[in-house]
Amino acid sequence: MQELRHIPVALNRCIDLLSPSIEKAIIERGVAIVVDATLGLGGHTHALLAKYPSVRVIGFDRDLDAIEIARKTVVPFIDRLTIVHSVYDQIPDVLENLGIESVDGVLFDLGVSSMQLDEAGRGFAYSQDAPLDMRMDQSQGLTAKEILYTYDRGALIRILRAYGDEKFAPRIVDNIIEAREANNLESTKQLAELIKESIPAPARRTGGNPAKRTFQALRIEVNQELAVLERAIPAAMSVLAPSGRIVVMAYQSLEDKIVKSYFTKACTSTTPRGLPVDLPNSAAKFEFVITGSESATEEEILENPRAQSMRLRAIERVAA
Ligand SMILES: C[S@@+](CC[C@H](N)C(=O)[O-])C[C@H]1O[C@@H](n2cnc3c(N)ncnc32)[C@H](O)[C@@H]1O
């Protein structure tokens, strides 16, 4: 595996957002528990464990390569990190198995890591030639190639449109079907070439690499990213102790929309409008810590271009 320069996104801001609930728990119970739902290369977890000697982190990742790197990154504090190879919608079950009733913070840094994008062979990047895999967890599930070879035309068009907003989905999919019938679709390079040829020349001149949208759509389908996130946000809210916080960084609008929708619902009273006080059990159980969303600073984007599309949201549990 190559050496990687990894810059965790919005590192200080995320730690600052989690700090009040961590510090309160440490004062009250002597220890705080945080779930890092996307351990990745261990950047945020390392900073949390270094700053707070009384914090214990439960770190989830579905990628065994990431886990191996994180284990090394966090070596000085490894006794306070429990690593879990699992999809993050399993948070409640995993915590129950660990005998943990509730946690003081949950951090989601969504999407793929710089390692997954840079590692030749994983198939996430259209700029590198690799087998069409794209699985974050290479130990299970359908690869991108299996999806391209087995889904019918309608399903492929729907995926490219819904997850990639791809205007030329039918043309791309017709070419995919022709290529798969000739058994000639094996690599990211072949797919990127095929996409380029499917898109009319004038449309190719704007909007960056024409393969970007199809690769994003396939990645979302391969890893069931949106369906998992739909389950994971309410799951994370359900394990949060009073005053606990959830902090989420999303890098594409489909994910951010899901987060925004759950957070808004959780922070809204269900008392009908116009009543002077909340009806019993209808007051919102969460409050926004950030109104709306935050972006990375210009300075950070210059240093780490991946931060450009990041949207940061955070809420706090205010009632049991
Ligand atoms: C952006 S990286 C996290 C980087 C990390 N915060 C750091 O500073 O090193 C996202 C990580 O989340 C993992 N991941 C993405 N979706 C996941 C899911 N549904 N369940 C568990 N892990 C997931 C990916 O494998 C990847 O390693």
pLDDT band at 112 (very low <50, low <70, confident <90, very high): very high
Tokens of 303: 């240093």
Residue with the nearest Cα to atom 4 of ligand 1?
A: 40
Residue 138, number of CB atoms within 10 A of its CB: 16
pLDDT, residue 5, reads 59
Average pLDDT taken over every residue of the chain: 95
Q: Is the CB of 113 under 6 A from ligand 1?
A: yes
Residue 320 has pLDDT above 90, yes or no: no
Ligand 1 atom nearest to 228, measured from its CA = 19
Residue 7 has pLDDT above 70, yes or no: yes
pLDDT band at 152 (very low <50, low <70, confident <90, very high): very high
Domains of the chain, with CATH numbers?
A: 11-115+225-317 (3.40.50.150), 126-223 (1.10.150.170)
Residue 140 has pLDDT above 50, yes or no: yes
CA–CA distance, 124 with 105 (Å, rounded to integer): 30
pLDDT, residue 299, reads 95
Tokens of 205: 């001149």
Tokens of 28: 């009250």
Nearest Cα residue to 67 out of 12, 7, 1: 1
Q: Tokens 């000739």, residue? A: 182
Ligand 1 pocket test, candidate residues 36, 136, 223, 304, most atoms within 8 A of CB: 136
pTM for this entry? 0.95
| Strands in 95-152 per DSSP E | 103-109
Q: Is the CB of 222 under 6 A from ligand 1?
A: no
pLDDT, residue 2, reads 39
